[in-house]
Amino acid sequence: MFDSPHRRFNPLTQEWVLVSPHRARRPWQGQVEKTSIENLPHYDPTCYLCPGNERAGGLRNPVYTDTFAFDNDFAALLPTAAASVENEEVPILTREAVDPPGEPTRLDSVRASLLTAVAEHGQCKVVCFSPRHDLTLPELDLPAIENVITTWARESAKLAALKFIQYVQVFENKGAAMGCSNPHPHSQLWAQSRLPNEIIKESASQAAYLMDNGRPLLIDYLEEEHKRPERILAANHHFTALVPFWAVWPFEVLVSANRPCAYLTDLSPDEVRSLADIFKQITTRYDNLFETSFPYSMGFHQAPCDGQPHPEWVLHAHFYPPLLRSATVRKFMVGYEMLAMPQRDITPEAAAERLRSVSSVHYRLR
């Protein structure tokens, strides 16, 4: 069945993807990506993220020695019109102020008119992985990756503690192909007062599944996948990495906790170590696939921080890389994908096989 065109269902988003395996060999004469610059300096005096340098907003970075978190100078979300929530002098906006009593709090329940707009408040942070300008995640050693994860957890918790925040998105855009503005290894946190689209979908699906089956959706899914490990890339006691059955991007990867857990802060030190190990393995295999610094957008899906328990939620990360065939040929989500539904040629099983077949030692460290 998987040799001919078929559709697969994503139970997290309740959306379908079209798979056309017979098309994987079609010729390509379109755009090729530039390969990334491989020889960066340890320190770049013109980089706005390097230690001690001045940022675009005029503030100066400290001479940091491990991770470094700061308020985004060009934040997409603001706590109030102009104030920073970290400034104790300024009154902090509360949920009540954002959502006056009696007002709907979620976008899915806002259907007042055909022209609907509601205020969105939030805070955006940038987290640098390392003072080194030239090291990406797979090139960091395990303790450094653990430190990145605990920084994400700590910064998420600080943002989630703000009364008006309902959700914290941790993500990394890596590589010029993904619109990343600077090769200095960094990630972002966007915290906001209402749930974003993907979280509305995943929340509803996971809650409904738990209600119907008495078990979390992703726990059942992992059990199913572990029966026949054709899509599994790496697994340890606490986490599993696989190309999901319903993957849209050619080399999409899902990294899921093996137990229900809502937030990055729920992870024990052992679990953080396990997650760092899985991250290092996946990002190393990515880079080795085309012997290039593999671009992607990656991010964690944590439960909403709405003060409610979330037994349905299983903390996970999605990796969405754009490359298809080589370091220079990417997949475009255009035409049919924009107008109808996502479509892929290479099967998730074939993608997993290719990722498993490359070395687990980074090509630049060999």
Q: What angle do CA 250, 349, 335 make, to 5 degrees?
A: 30
d(CA 62, CA 79): 24
Sign of CA dihedral 72, 74, 76, 82: positive
Question: Toward ligand H2U, which CB reaches closer, 55 or 364?
Answer: 55
Buried b / exposed e along 69-84 (16+ C-beta atoms within 10 A):
bbebeebeebbeeeee
Active site annotation includes 237: no
Q: 121, 133, 186, 238: which is the annotated catalytic residue? A: 186
CB of 328 to ligand H2U, least distance (A): 21
d(CA 209, CA 312): 8
What is the DSSP pairing of strand 15-19 with strand 343-344? parallel
d(CA 63, CA 57): 17
Per CB under 5 A, 49 contacts Zn ion:
yes
Per CB under 6 A, 150 contacts ligand H2U:
no
Per CB under 6 A, 356 contacts ligand H2U:
no
Q: Quick one: which of 8, 132, 174, 184 contacts Zn ion (CB under 5 A)?
A: 184
State both tokens at 138: 């797979």
Choose from Zn ion, ligand H2U, none: what does 84 bind? Cβ within 5-8 Å by kind.
none
Q: Residues touching Zn ion: how many (CB under 5 A)? A: 6
CB of 124 to ligand H2U, least distance (A): 7
Q: Quick one: which of 17, 19, 98, 126 contacts ligand H2U (CB under 6 A)?
A: 126
- Residue of 143, 147, 98, 108 whose CA lies nearest to 127: 147
**Tally of CA atoms within 13 A in the half-sphere of 174 that contains its CB:** 27
d(CA 262, CA 315): 5
Provide the mask over 166-195, with x wherever binding to ligand H2U is found by CB under 6 A and - wherever it is not: -------x-----xxxx---x-x-------
Q: Residues touching ligand H2U: how many (CB under 6 A)? A: 15
Site for Zn ion in 114-153 (CB under 5 A): 133
Per CB under 5 A, 18 contacts Zn ion:
no
CB of 62 to Zn ion, least distance (A): 14
Choose from ligand H2U, Zn ion, none: what does 82 bind? Cβ within 5-8 Å by kind.
none
Contacts of 163 (CB under 8 A, 6+ apart): 92, 93, 94, 95
- Residue 166 contacts residue 194 (beta carbons within 8 Å): yes
CB of 363 to ligand H2U, least distance (A): 24
CB of 175 to Zn ion, least distance (A): 15
Per CB under 6 A, 52 contacts ligand H2U:
no
Please give the residue ranges that form the binding site for Zn ion (CB under 5 A).
44, 47, 49-50, 133, 184
Please give the residue ranges that form the binding site for ligand H2U (CB under 6 A).
48, 55-57, 72-74, 126, 173, 179-182, 186, 188
**Which active-site residues does the annotation give?**
186
